[in-house]
Structure 1
């Protein structure tokens, strides 16, 4: 994911390449649904100053996450996010048991055994 000001642009990294002066660039596909650029391919900088992962890669030290999505999030019975279990509104704090990898993404398994996304646009680590 790339952050520019308050705007978030999401890409899937499909490869990488170095420029003539050895600067690393990511080859990406745009996954911003509903935009003119959706599905287009190109290169972006690989600098951590501008590009950060969309999904959390570890369990927060506090083992707590807070829902920040305007419409809330759902919990599911399985890590592939099928079998909807419950809906949580924005601001609800949840306790995380562990991080589970699923394809190119990560999920959090909650203390009740249900699963939620680890997408930074929908949840935030800690109590807020």
Structure 2
């Protein structure tokens, strides 16, 4: 069994802050835990917009608190995000994530992340070895 607390993980190398300063992510479950997926608590800072395109990963995102929106770029649809909402990027959807207020999100990635990933210039997380 694995047991971790968010508070402990936030004080460790499991807390990753984006280079652009738009978000931070505490990675509670990672590839080396051998569960086949990773689990993160991510904070998106108020007033930010992030271009994201997980070409190598599928992601599910549950909103714990805050308000924002996701704009899917293939169809320009805007989807409001509020507590209790889940959005599922089941087609490697390229999107813009906008935080109207600070967003606290629970995120699951498949395949699992290694832990230090940040978005590249295209909004992509690399696969291991990239």
TM-score by length of 2: 0.31
Task: Compare the two structures and name the one with the higher strand fraction.
Answer: 1
Give the number of the structure whose alpha-carbon radius of gyration is greater: 1
Higher relative contact order (CA 8 A, sep 6+): 2
Task: Compare the two structures and name the one with the higher helix fraction.
Answer: 2
TM-score by length of 1: 0.31
